[in-house]
Amino acid sequence: MKKYKLKGLAMSCILFFFTQLHAQKFESLAQTPPMGWNSWNKFQADINEQLIKETADVIVSSGMRDAGYVYLVIDDGWMAPVRDEKTGDLVADPRKFPHGMKEIADYIHSKGLKFGIYNSAGTETCQGLPGTRGYEYQDARLYASWDVDYLKFDWCHSDKQNAEESYTTMGKALLSAKRPMIFSICELGTNKPWIWGAKMGHLWRTTDDIGVQFDGYIDHKTWKQLSIMTMIDQQVGLEKYAGKGHWNDPDMLEVGNGLTASEDRLHFSMWCMLAAPLMSGNDLTKMSQTTKEILMNKDVIAIDQDPLGFQAFRHSNEDSVQVWFKPLQNDDWAACFFNRSSVTKNINFNWQRENVNDTLYKKSLPTASADFNLYDLWKKKNMGNTRNPLNVNLAPHDVLLIRLSR
């Protein structure tokens, strides 16, 4: 009997299929937090084929794609009010997308981008369009036929459904469709998806919807949009649930949608510290130079995309000033200081006396025994080293983001 040796590609294929046979999701995806653009924050359901194609063009021409923003996700409002009466398939709204979703997918892919789409686990989407409840496997096959790369799956009109069971069913449906897709669990944190979401999802919402608000919330009477500060507060203690292939998601970015420049920098800095997915939600065709510089600051993005995949932890919270730390590869660290108050605050931080310990990952910042160089990631300048205390004034709603390296 002859013995055969499997080499290279053949062995890789066998291992891949064996792994997927026992997997609950496509394990190789989202090894760093996904980056891209989503239509909802700026346009809500007012979307169409021209807008999506123009956005794809600008993601490329502006440099966003090269900075890492590769997923273009069409949110709620893309579909017709009813399913196809013969097949039961979802149908693109013929007024908004006259050439259908496959044509959109092909256009997005032709730009070197990846295509994402939206639906809900309930009977209807948040806009009252056809949901996926009872159609999970059929919808997954349809998305695969359209070459979808990313599914955002909401939680509207899901009364009496069990969240974990509903998302497990959709996760299995995506696997059965055999096209690798990132599965974004948009359950709004109601049923603590950080506890169970990693089994079938690549990211899960930890909060209700974000709004263009620095602190507090926007009251719509029947529901509220949360502020940047409220979102950050709700991430404390969730760091143990994040990691490669499974990320806490404090919702999409509002950078460029009406906050001040300093607030946008703080917002973006903290999403990167939190290893959050970076899904921009602004009108890319009308970006200011300041917005471009924030969204495409590669040094700051590198904090989010660090290969270790650690989420930052809050070191201190005193007198409206918070300090967060994040271990990075090669024994580097990121430190984020921000001022949530309406008055300037003095930051006096003695590196050699502070005891900075990441108890989750068993890492310590040894500034008492070793010197670290300090680099301001927004001003792009050196700030000396940890031999001397940090003494700076921080303006209201502003941020100081530092990379420490030896």
Do residues 105 and 147 touch, judged by C-beta distance below 8 A? yes
Q: Are residues 64 and 176 in the same domain?
A: yes
* Last residue of one domain, picked from the residues 304, 329, 351: 304
- 261-290: pLDDT as tens digits: 999 999 999 999 999 999 999 999 999 999
Look up the domain containing 374 and give its range: 313-405
**Which of the following is catalytic: 75, 139, 209, 306?**
209
> Which pLDDT belongs to residue 10?
53
Residue 8 in any domain: the answer is no
Residue 21 in any domain: the answer is no
Q: Are residues 285 and 329 in the same domain?
A: no
Strand-strand pairing, 373-376 and 381-385? antiparallel
Q: Are residues 216 and 242 in the same domain?
A: yes
Q: Are residues 83 and 230 in the same domain?
A: yes
Ranges of the chain with pLDDT below 70: 1-23
Q: What is the pTM of this model?
A: 0.94
Residue 195 in any domain: the answer is yes
> Which pLDDT belongs to residue 24?
86
Do residues 262 and 395 touch, judged by C-beta distance below 8 A? yes
Phi-psi bin for 147: left (phi > 0), alpha (psi -120 to 50), beta?
Answer: left
Q: What's the rounded Cα separation, in Å, for the pair 183 and 167? A: 9
Q: Are residues 325 and 226 in the same domain?
A: no
Strand-strand pairing, 357-358 and 363-364? antiparallel
Please report, for the domain that includes residue 371, its CATH number: 2.60.40.1180
Give CA 120 to chain center in angstroms: 18
Question: CA dihedral in degrees (210, 211, 217, 222; nearest 10)?
Answer: -80
* Last residue of one domain, picked from the residues 284, 304, 324: 304
209 is catalytic: yes
How many domains does the chain fold into?
2
Q: Are residues 295 and 330 in the same domain?
A: no
Residue 3 in any domain: the answer is no
Q: Are residues 251 and 353 in the same domain?
A: no
Q: Are residues 317 and 299 in the same domain?
A: no
Residue 135 in any domain: the answer is yes
> Which pLDDT belongs to residue 22?
53
Residue 7 in any domain: the answer is no
Q: Are residues 291 and 320 in the same domain?
A: no
* Last residue of one domain, picked from the residues 286, 304, 322: 304
Q: Are residues 270 and 395 in the same domain?
A: no
371 is catalytic: no
Residue 170 in any domain: the answer is yes
- 333-390: pLDDT as tens digits: 999 999 999 999 999 999 999 999 999 999 999 999 999 999 999 999 999 999 999 9
**Which of the following is catalytic: 75, 149, 154, 208?**
154
Please report, for the domain that includes residue 137, its CATH number: 3.20.20.70
Q: Are residues 238 and 119 in the same domain?
A: yes
Do residues 389 and 348 touch, judged by C-beta distance below 8 A? yes
Residue with tokens 């997915």: 277
Q: Are residues 108 and 183 in the same domain?
A: yes
Residue 137 in any domain: the answer is yes
Q: How many CB atoms lie within 10 A of CB 283?
A: 17
